[in-house]
């Protein structure tokens, strides 16, 4: 009898150990966030199938997933994004509908990678305490699909891997490159273009903010 109970107890323990925790629930926001405010927190992924536009005030937080915005951020919108994994803005492709533009203000913090489908242009400079209007902080790299233009101030901060800007830095724009271990004071601003043929952006030689 005791042997049977021991066997049953072992089977129950194995069964309990084999039960997987339920997947964190995600959220899909269908269409555009336009001329409205949205504050959304989710355990899993957050997916916006359209754009963020029209002066919208938006905060999206994914505690254990990624944030995907298919369209652009435009029209003076103020957007804060925080994700445990990746953040993708303009994920629908490359071109004018996948940019950050129009005096918009964007702060994005990701445990993984941050990518933007197209350019950063015409955004409000010097809004955040670090003197920027667009602030990207990523754990595993940053990719900007187009140029940085229109006098914007941008900070690109990554823990490991590269920062890639696939277009030029122009129009009086300034970009601060830094690692996660750098303090804001060592993140020297630069208007240096991406290295020819690589799309890899680097600050001027000798800067404390030099990337790997």
Domain residue limits, the chain: 45-190
By the 8 A CB rule, do 208 and 194 touch?
A: no
pLDDT in tens, 40-60: 999 999 999 999 999 999 999
Instruction: For residue 22, name the pLDDT band (cuts at 50, 70, 90).
Output: low
How is 7-52 classified by DSSP, letter by letter? HHHHHHHHHHHHPPPPPPP-EEE-S-EESSEEEEEESS-EEESS-E
Tell me which residue of 209, 189, 91 sits closest to 148, measured CA to CA: 189
pLDDT in tens, 98-156: 999 999 999 999 999 999 999 999 876 666 655 568 999 999 999 999 999 988 999 99
Tell me which residue of 52, 50, 82 sits closest to 66, measured CA to CA: 82
**CA 118 remoteness from chain centre:** 13
């Amino acid at each position: 009898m005791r042997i049977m109970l021991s066997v049953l107890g072992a089977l129950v323990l194995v069964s309990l150990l084999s039960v997987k925790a339920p997947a964190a629930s995600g959220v899909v926001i269908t269409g555009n966030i336009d001329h409205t405010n949205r504050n959304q927190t989710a355990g899993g992924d957050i997916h916006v199938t359209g754009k963020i536009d029209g002066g919208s005030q938006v905060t999206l937080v994914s505690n254990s997933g990624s944030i995907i915005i298919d369209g652009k951020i435009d029209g003076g919108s103020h957007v804060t994004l925080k994700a445990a994994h990746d953040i993708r803005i303009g994920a629908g492709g490359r071109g004018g509908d996948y940019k950050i533009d129009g005096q918009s203000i964007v702060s994005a913090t990701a445990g993984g990678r941050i990518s933007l489908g197209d350019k950063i242009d015409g955004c409000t400079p010097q809004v955040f305490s670090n003197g920027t209007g667009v602030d990207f902080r990523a754990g595993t790299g940053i990719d900007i699909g187009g140029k940085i233009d229109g006098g914007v101030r941008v900070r690109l901060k990554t823990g490991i891997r590269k920062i890639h800007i696939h277009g030029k830095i122009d129009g009086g724009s300034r970009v601060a490159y830094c690692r996660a271990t750098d303090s804001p004071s060592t993140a020297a601003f630069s208007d240096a273009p991406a290295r020819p043929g690589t799309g890899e952006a680097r600050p001027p030689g000798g800067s404390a903010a030099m990337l790997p």
